[in-house]
Structure 1
Amino acid sequence: MPSPLKYNKRFDKLTDEEQELLEINKKSIADFVEQSSSVSDVNYATRNAHAKTYAVAIAELVIDQHIPEMLQPFFDKERYDLTIRFSNAHPKIIRGKKDIPAYGFAVKIKDENGTLLANFPLVNFPLFPINSVGTFLKLFTSVNRFFVKKWSSFSLMMQIIKVIPSTFTGSFIKNIIKLWRKRNDFFLSFDYHSVGAYRLGDYMMKIKLKPQSVSKNFGKRLKVKDALESYLNTENFTADVLIQLCYDLKDQPVNQLNVEWKNSPFVKIGEINIDKNNLLDPYACENEMLSFNPFESKMFFQPVGKLQKLREDAYKVSMQTRLKINKLLKYDK
């Protein structure tokens, strides 16, 4: 097995034009969050993505005793404390309708002293349909403006059309078909992925969570939130934590997010365990205001790549605006 490729900050560098588009996008994020309580008809400002919280749980990460020696310095404890938020990717909280199966499994990792080590926002679809930073920023800005009624649906549709060509890869089509077939499956039966790459010290990795022994048919007649709460209140949940390392940019591209990594074996790091009856109140202010910004992680676990780099300012703007608005609204539950 060759040595893993080392991280280089050039993977993250934005052009001047991309930086200008990011500034426009940041303003659209702030505008959306400021009006998000009206958009979602709630009494607090929401996130501008993954607005809907299904549940929040306390968990633990148990490190595998047989992880490769080169990875041991990053996981030198037997156990780590976790806070997990389960969510839907839609920017608007929708009630009374069937949720689209675009789910989030965000993980906050702390050591025994309560020190934050990493935030990993994971999703149930392993790829992203956009490689161009400019195209993504224009689309994301138009989505924000659409919801605050500053742009028409025609403008949004034009941006969506520009994305379509990058979905024509074997990896993307295969995973779309897989998602369609699983669209009615139980939330915790999905695998969850870091769409982009993250640092692992000097190296780069992708992360995958693979649940153990969860029936795809659990809670078939229940709403997603009710089924998830029912399972976590009555069953213990365990998922394998797997990583892939980047060895060659041709096979494991950092800035091409619409294809899967190949020729990089999955390595088991450990297991996530959620004991039954470990749910927190998802509507309590301290839980709704949780931040899963991956750039708050320790340096050796931070995101890698141009599209990932955009998240740093996006998360900051969204969180700062939510804090400001929710203090004004005196949101406490």
Structure 2
Amino acid sequence: MPQPLKFNKKFNELNEEEKKLLEINKKSIADFVEQSSSISDVNYATRNAHAKTYAVADGMFIIDQNIPEELLPFFDSEKFNLTIRLSNVNLKINTTEKDIPAYGFAVKIKDENGGLIANFPLINFPLFPTNSVSLFLRLFTAINRFYIKKWSNVFSLAVQTIKMVPSFFTLSFIRNIFKLLGKKNDFILSFDYHSVGAYRLGEHMIKIKLVPKSVNKKFGRKLKMKDALKSYFQDHNYSADVFIQFCYDLKDQPINRLNVEWKNSPFIKIGEVTISKGALLDPRDCNTELLSFNPFESKIFFQPVGKIQKLRDEAYKVSVQTRRKINKLLHKHQ
């Protein structure tokens, strides 16, 4: 078996234009979060993405007994405690329309003392719509400003969206879009979940995939998603296999081309994520809404890799700091 490539910080480096655009984007994120309670018509500040929480639960990560020996140093216990947040990708919380089937499965891995080991925000779509940092930052800024200023920013949003369109035309992206459309009414727990970008595993780089076991995709179709999850965990346990792929060759497993899938890298099973029935936490608890799943808060050898991932570091920090500041003030006055 070939040796996996080693992590190099050059994978994360932004150029000067990208750094400038990131500063503009950070300002738009802070503005969005400050006005998010009125944008979503709720009584607290929301996240700047994945604003709607469907459920938060305690879970367990059980390490596979047949895990390759060279991976054992990273998993020095048979099992780890998890906090899991199920969400929708939308920036705005809508209560009337049906949600688009773009879901998040964020995982916080903790040691036996409750100390953080790693955060992995996974989603049910394996690809990212563009490899261009500049294009993405301009579009994300335009979206934030559209939500704040509405129609006065619609032209800018339209222009940035049109510029993004060519990125969608990879075989991988089109195939996965059709796959998602075919599953648009399926139950949230029946989807596979993906890391999209790469993460460090020590000196090497990996992608993560979570594959559920025996979940009825038609469960709770007549219920709102929050109610469907509540109903599911009254009677069912959830379990999913966790796989990783290593980066061996940048041609087949590119770090900074996120709109194509990795190939010629086998999936290696490393364990299983479980959520027991009755494990849902109170969604109304203020501490639940204050939770952060920033993958850059992970231990250094589990952190994200790549330029788009690096943007998330800055975006998470601004979003979390603004949100916590507002929500703690609101909590004090309740």
Q: TM-score band (shorter)?
A: over 0.9
What is the CA–CA distance in structure 1 between the aligned matches of 2:35 and 2:308, rounded to whole Å?
Answer: 25
1:279 partner SS: coil
Equivalence for 2:255: 254
What is the CA–CA distance in structure 1 between the aligned matches of 2:38 and 2:76, rounded to whole Å?
Answer: 46
Alignment of 1:88-107 (within 5 A): 88-107=88-107
Equivalence for 1:14: 14
Deviations 1:100-128 (A, max 9, x none): 00000000000111110000000000000
What is the CA–CA distance in structure 2 between the aligned matches of 1:113 and 1:325, rounded to whole Å?
Answer: 29
Equivalence for 2:298: 297
Give unpaired runs (5+ residues) of structure 2. Answer: none
Quick check: 1:103–1:187 contact (8 Å CA) kept in 2?
yes
Equivalence for 1:118: 118
Q: How many residues align?
A: 333
Alignment of 1:188-267 (within 5 A): 188-267=189-268
1:283 partner SS: coil
1:280 partner SS: coil
**TM-score, structure 1 length as denominator?**
0.98
What is the CA–CA distance in structure 1 between the aligned matches of 2:26 and 2:283, rounded to whole Å?
Answer: 27
1:277 to 1:125, Cα distance in 2 relative to 1, 3 A: same
Equivalence for 2:142: 142
1:331 to 1:185, Cα distance in 2 relative to 1, 3 A: farther
Deviations 1:122-176 (A, max 9, x none): 0000000110000010000011101011642221111111111011111001000
Alignment of 1:53-202 (within 5 A): 53-149=53-149, 151-202=152-203
Quick check: 1:285–1:332 contact (8 Å CA) kept in 2?
no
Quick check: 2:252–2:264 contact (8 Å CA) kept in 1?
yes
Q: Which amino acid aligns with 1:47?
A: R
What is the CA–CA distance in structure 2 between the aligned matches of 1:145 and 1:2, rounded to whole Å?
Answer: 47
Deviations 1:42-101 (A, max 9, x none): 110000100000000000000001111111111111000000000000000000211100
2:242 partner SS: strand
What is the CA–CA distance in structure 2 between the aligned matches of 1:125 and 1:225, rounded to whole Å?
Answer: 21
Equivalence for 2:35: 35
Q: CA deviation at 1:233?
A: 2.0
What is the CA–CA distance in structure 2 between the aligned matches of 1:24 and 1:232, rounded to whole Å?
Answer: 42
Q: Which amino acid aligns with 1:2?
A: P
Q: CA deviation at 1:326?
A: 1.3
Moved over 4 A (4+): none
Quick check: 2:286–2:331 contact (8 Å CA) kept in 1?
no
Q: Which amino acid aligns with 2:21?
A: L
Provide the aligned C-alpha RMSD in A: 1.1
1:194 to 1:184, Cα distance in 2 relative to 1, 3 A: same
1:268 partner SS: strand
Q: Does 2:288 correspond to 1:287?
A: yes
